[in-house]
Amino acid sequence: MSRTPLSRPALAQPLAAVGLIACIIGPVLHASPVEPSGESRWRWLTLAVAVVSLVGCAVWARYKGTEALARTGGAEPLGALLLAIGVVGAAYYLLQAIDRGFISTGTAISGLGALLVAAALVVRPFPWDIAELRPHLRLAAGVAAGASVALAATALVGRINGTGVTTYADPTPPAPVPTSVSKQAWSWTAPARLAAPPEPAGNGFVAATKKAVYLVDGVTGKPRWRYQRDHVQVRDIDVTPGGRLVVVDTYINDGDHDGPLIVLDALTGKQHAALPHDAAETFTGSAAVSGSKNDLTATPLTDRGQAWSHRAPSGCRFGDTAASESTFTVRTRCGVGTSVTTPRDELIAYDDRSGSVLWHHPVGDKGRAKTVLSTGTAGEGCNLTELTTYLPPSTTTQSQSRLLDARTGKTRITGKPDESFGACRDGWVQVFGQAFRTTGWINLATGARGGARTADAGPLVLRDQSLGVTLGPDASTASVTPHDLTNHAGTAFTVETGPSLKEGAHTRNVAVPGAVVIVTEGSPVQPGTPPTIIGLR
């Protein structure tokens, strides 16, 4: 039994072999649709295989001699193969445990391979005898071919099972949100109970079940794409301002572990990124932003942006924030806790892709009046930030709101006393009167106002109508009553809402590109009933 020390040539050969294998497998894995970085069961399996392989490698070296690890071209290649599997598996697990899938698995393995090849060259510099490497190259080619076949088979099985994105129709430009409706145009029954309510996105709306995310066309009512992944289930969905990206909050193994935040293109369903679960608190049109009172950190949602971060200036702290389609605005307060008599406040707007400062806007509280940076009102054709000043209770006027251009900081619209702003659609901003008792629309380009209506005329307000929706006795039908600009009720029409539901059923009404959708949801008495979504045009 030989237990001679491992020589430099003998050590260099398995290092080079493992490195070459990793350099070949990495790009293949990176290019495949399989992404095991999110599935915790595969991380644990990889760790187990790596540990077993390294233990086997040690036992092999103990009883066969360390030189056996380098004799891959002879009769005993098992030692080098165990070493390769153990090193690659352990490195893969460590990278996943540290980065939690933030970097591509293929990229990680390729980087490991390059490091091992470099280590082999350090241990034994050139020139090398090609005869020494030939058996290792054969081993590398065989392992790479086997990995490629396994990945291709996994991708084929995933495609059969619907893993990844399934496209039903080519993308088209989004249709405008209707200004009025008169009839039911289509209906779509979800395949299962919704995990998240419909949200306007792309050219219609996005809806999610526990297992898949769907984009339904607002004009036709037909799904345009479906996205799902094995072992990953949907907890919630979010749509970025402007409706161009869908962020899917996932979990793994029936809630045992948080999954990645999966970023999808709203028009095509293509996956742009998979971010760590805790990567974001707020989404702009193309970045996930998180932070505290001392710093901000942004992670790009697509490959067109870049990561950036900012620290609060000395003596200052970050406060209220607002996200819009292309900017992130934060209120900064300086002088708090110092000898400065009056703290100085200002708004700072950052470009969401580069992190560069776009503008500063001084703002402050005077007396008992308080100025608040509201959530950005963003939509197609709109990129705005709302700023509201709340006045002391002793005054007749309670608040004064204005909309700032999110890119320049200039005031676009100043509301009347006690008005506030809502949704922004196709260049029109919804405006609410005092205590939301009236509502109307303002044209961003001209400042013209639409007719004001009482908000209780219907729960959903379009530019030329408000809609009241009343479910029938068994919730299988609903009556839709439109009201015009003067609050006069028009001709009601009936829509079929799907299977009969028990008591407690209710509707959710959403204006989306191309249609107004009505979602009938069941009560806890009937929790598993899939909803039928109605499209009005």
Whether the CB-CB separation of 345 and 364 falls below 8 Å is answered with yes
Please report the pLDDT score of residue 358 as a whole number: 92
Which of 21-35, 47-61, 370-384, 451-465 is predicted least confidently?
Answer: 21-35
Q: In this structure, are 252 and 316 located in the same domain?
A: no
Which of 289-293, 420-424, 459-463 is predicted least confidently?
Answer: 459-463
Q: How does pLDDT run across 308-324, given as a tens digit for each residue? A: 888 888 888 888 888 88
Structure tokens at 318: 């970050």
Whole-angstrom distance, CA of residue 213 vs CA of residue 45: 28
- Out of 103, 129, 160, a domain closes at 160
Please report the pLDDT score of residue 345 as a whole number: 82
Model confidence at 362: pLDDT above 70: yes
Whole-angstrom distance, CA of residue 444 vs CA of residue 422: 13
> Is residue 390 assigned to a domain?
yes
Q: What residues have CB less than 8 Å from 276, skipping those under 6 apart?
A: 99, 100, 101, 102, 260, 261
Please report the pLDDT score of residue 72 as a whole number: 44
b (16+ CB within 10 A) / e for 182-216:
eebbbbbebeeebbbebbbbbbbbbbbbebbbbbb
Q: In this structure, are 372 and 330 located in the same domain?
A: yes
> Is residue 454 assigned to a domain?
no
The confidence band for 387, taking pLDDT boundaries of 50, 70 and 90, is confident
Give me the number of domains the chain comprises: 3
What percent of the chain has pLDDT above 90? 7
Whole-angstrom distance, CA of residue 374 vs CA of residue 253: 38
> Is residue 314 assigned to a domain?
yes
Given CA atoms 337, 340, 343, 349 in this order, what sign does their dihedral have?
negative
155: domain range? 8-160
> Is residue 88 assigned to a domain?
yes
Please report the pLDDT score of residue 137 as a whole number: 64
Model confidence at 84: pLDDT above 70: no
Q: Which residue has the higher pLDDT, 73 or 498?
A: 498
Q: In this structure, are 425 and 522 located in the same domain?
A: no
Q: In this structure, are 67 and 111 located in the same domain?
A: yes
> Is residue 495 assigned to a domain?
yes
Q: In this structure, are 154 and 175 located in the same domain?
A: no
Whether the CB-CB separation of 432 and 408 falls below 8 Å is answered with no
Q: In this structure, are 197 and 236 located in the same domain?
A: yes
Please report the pLDDT score of residue 99 as a whole number: 44
Q: Report the number of secondary-structure helices (H) and strands (E) in the chain.
A: 5, 34
- Out of 160, 180, 195, a domain closes at 160
> Is residue 455 assigned to a domain?
no
Please report the pLDDT score of residue 427 as a whole number: 80
Please report the pLDDT score of residue 447 as a whole number: 83
Name the range with the highest mean pLDDT among 52-66, 116-130, 143-157, 453-467: 453-467
Please report the pLDDT score of residue 524 as a whole number: 45
Whole-angstrom distance, CA of residue 410 vs CA of residue 134: 69
Model confidence at 101: pLDDT above 50: no
Whether the CB-CB separation of 43 and 256 falls below 8 Å is answered with no
Given CA atoms 454, 460, 465, 468 in this order, what sign does their dihedral have?
negative
- Out of 134, 160, 186, a domain closes at 160
Q: In this structure, are 314 and 402 located in the same domain?
A: yes
Please report the pLDDT score of residue 217 as a whole number: 93
Which of 167-176, 200-209, 345-354, 510-519 is predicted least confidently?
Answer: 167-176
Q: In this structure, are 210 and 297 located in the same domain?
A: no
pLDDT (average), residues 205-224: 91
Q: In this structure, are 150 and 49 located in the same domain?
A: yes
Instruction: Tell me what the pLDDT averaged over the chain comes to.
Output: 72
pTM value?
0.69
> Is residue 3 assigned to a domain?
no
Please report the pLDDT score of residue 291 as a whole number: 80
Structure tokens at 276: 């760590």
Q: In this structure, are 329 and 288 located in the same domain?
A: yes
pLDDT (average), residues 114-125: 56
Q: How does pLDDT run across 440-478, given as a tens digit for each residue? A: 788 888 888 876 565 554 557 787 777 777 777 666 777
Q: What residues have CB less than 8 Å from 106, skipping those under 6 apart?
A: 25, 26, 27, 28, 29, 30, 31, 32
Model confidence at 507: pLDDT above 70: yes
Given CA atoms 267, 224, 164, 529 in this order, what sign does their dihedral have?
positive
> Is residue 456 assigned to a domain?
no
Q: In this structure, are 246 and 300 located in the same domain?
A: no
Q: In this structure, are 493 and 408 located in the same domain?
A: no
Q: Which residue has the higher pLDDT, 492 or 214?
A: 214
